[in-house]
């Protein structure tokens, strides 16, 4: 487990106005880390801007402070530095990528194994289960007060990225940080309730249809599920509602690789892949289709295709792998 680089601590101590970014379609770790970092900067008496180009999904809008996220970037000359959290690839910075990359120094704090190391100063630790865990250590290194709101956001980040402390990335360090956050008043039951018992009936209806699409291949070692544009129309559910659906086929004991095919309105098929253990490196498979990710979690997109043809092509690759 690496320490916070002193160069980054020094830079942040001296900065007075900081732009804070994360990746597009932010998950719990991305948003939790970004919002907590805003709280930490505010405790240090610094000015900051939390950039987010989309409205926060209803799944995460319980996070304190998410209303301060803004899509209209102020004059970038005002900032002393940029901090990008949980973003392993600059293309995931979104529509303002080129502008924000021009701000120096560009500080990157992340835990993705395949991080592309863009920007000027890096703290990348793939042994960390979440960026939230790293932001906690950064706050301590900066001597910042960790408010209840910051602790709540960081705890949410950690629970999200560890699948409630279930994934193999979970370490004693994860529990150490989580324990410190609980000691600051965060109630694990409250976070779990907001994260996992907070869905709409539309989502449940969509889930029923998606589970009905289950297909098993190769003696049930491969599981496919899919969602079509029609299912979204019929249920009124949204793309955000499909987050974590892939865990259902993945949860089958026989399954090594679970795949979720999503048809979006603009005729793009997005494919998410999950594998267990070391038998199948889904990052490698996704790369073959122009995508990427981690060994056990990856994805790719295919514009102008039909789910059926993407399935056939992918199955061929999975069966010969």
Residue 263: CB minimum distance to Mn ion, A: 26
* Beta carbons within 10 angstroms of residue 315's beta carbon: 16
Site for Mn ion in 275-314 (CB under 5 A): none
Q: Rounded to an integer, what is the distance from CA 197 to the centroid of its chain?
A: 19
Instruction: Draw the binding track, 249-278, toward Mn ion (x: CB under 5 A; -: no contact).
Output: ------------------------------
**What are the DSSP E strand ranges found in the chain?**
17-21, 47-50, 81-85, 106-110, 121-124, 215-217, 222-227, 257-263, 268-275, 292-293, 297-303
Could you give the C-alpha distances from 284 to 11, 192, 217, 273, in angstroms and in order? 37, 33, 20, 11
Residue 308: CB minimum distance to Mn ion, A: 33
Which of residues 5 and 163 has its CB atom nearest to Mn ion in the complex?
163
Q: With contacts defined by CB under 5 A, how many residues of the chain interact with Mn ion? A: 4
Which of residues 131 and 275 has its CB atom nearest to Mn ion in the complex?
131
Establish if 161 lies at the interface with Mn ion (CB under 5 A).
yes
Which of residues 127 and 208 has its CB atom nearest to Mn ion in the complex?
127
Instruction: Draw the binding track, 212-251, toward Mn ion (x: CB under 5 A; -: no contact).
Output: ----------------------------------------
Establish if 125 lies at the interface with Mn ion (CB under 5 A).
no
Residue 36: CB minimum distance to Mn ion, A: 13
Which of residues 39 and 161 has its CB atom nearest to Mn ion in the complex?
161
Which of residues 16 and 163 has its CB atom nearest to Mn ion in the complex?
163
Of 74-82, 83-91, 199-207, 296-304, the window that binds Mn ion (rule: CB under 5 A) is: 83-91
Cα–Cα distance between 28 and 133 in angstroms, integer?
A: 13
Establish if 133 lies at the interface with Mn ion (CB under 5 A).
no
Could you give the C-alpha distances from 208 to 33, 198, 221, 270, in angstroms and in order? 32, 17, 22, 20
Please report the DSSP string for 34-64 in residue order: HHHHHHHHHHTT-EEEEB-SSPPPTTTTTST
Residue 222: CB minimum distance to Mn ion, A: 26
Residue 151: CB minimum distance to Mn ion, A: 18
Range 12-16, long-range pairs (CB < 8 A, 24+ positions): 12/81, 12/83, 12/107, 12/138, 12/142, 13/142, 14/80, 15/46, 15/80, 15/81, 16/46, 16/47, 16/80
Q: Which of 39, 86, 125, 241 binds Mn ion (CB under 5 A)?
A: 86
Which of residues 29 and 125 has its CB atom nearest to Mn ion in the complex?
29
Establish if 29 lies at the interface with Mn ion (CB under 5 A).
yes
* Beta carbons within 10 angstroms of residue 233's beta carbon: 10
Three-class HEC string of 176-201: HHHHHHHHCCCCHHHHHHHHHCCCCH
Of 17-25, 81-89, 97-105, 254-262, the window that binds Mn ion (rule: CB under 5 A) is: 81-89
Which of residues 250 and 294 has its CB atom nearest to Mn ion in the complex?
294
Residues that bind Mn ion (CB under 5 A): 29, 86, 131, 161
């Amino acid at each position: 487990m690496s320490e916070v680089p002193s160069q980054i601590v020094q830079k942040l101590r001296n900065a007075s106005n900081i732009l804070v970014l994360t990746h597009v379609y932010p998950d719990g770790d991305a948003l939790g880390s970004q919002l907590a970092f805003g709280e930490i900067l505010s405790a240090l008496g610094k000015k900051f801007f939390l950039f987010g180009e989309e409205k926060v999904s209803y799944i995460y809008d319980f996070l304190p402070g998410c209303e301060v996220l803004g899509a209209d970037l102020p004059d970038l000359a005002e900032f002393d530095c940029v901090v990008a959290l949980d973003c392993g690839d600059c293309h995931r910075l979104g529509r303002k990528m080129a502008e924000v990359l021009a701000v120096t120094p560009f500080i990157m704090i992340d835990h993705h194994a395949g991080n592309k190391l863009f920007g000027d100063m890096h703290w990348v630790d793939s042994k960390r289960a979440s960026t939230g865990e790293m932001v906690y250590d950064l706050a301590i290194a900066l001597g910042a007060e960790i408010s209840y709101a910051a602790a709540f956001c960081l705890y949410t980040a950690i629970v999200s990225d560890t699948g409630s402390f279930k994934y193999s990335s979970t370490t004693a360090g994860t529990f150490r940080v989580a324990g410190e956050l609980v000691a600051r008043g965060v109630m694990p039951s409250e976070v779990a309730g907001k994260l996992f018992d907070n869905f709409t009936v539309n989502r449940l209806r969509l889930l029923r249809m998606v589970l009905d699409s289950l297909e098993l291949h190769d003696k049930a070692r491969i599981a496919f599920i899919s969602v079509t544009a029609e299912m979204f129309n019929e249920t009124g559910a949204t793309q955000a509602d499909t987050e974590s659906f892939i865990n259902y086929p993945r949860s089958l004991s026989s399954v090594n690789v679970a795949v979720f095919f999503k048809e979006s309105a603009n005729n793009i098929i997005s494919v998410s892949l999950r594998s267990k253990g070391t038998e199948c490196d889904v990052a490698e498979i996704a790369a073959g289709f122009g995508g990427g990710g981690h060994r056990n979690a990856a994805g790719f997109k295919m514009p102008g295709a039909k789910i059926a043809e993407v399935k056939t092509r992918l199955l061929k690759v999975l069966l010969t792998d």
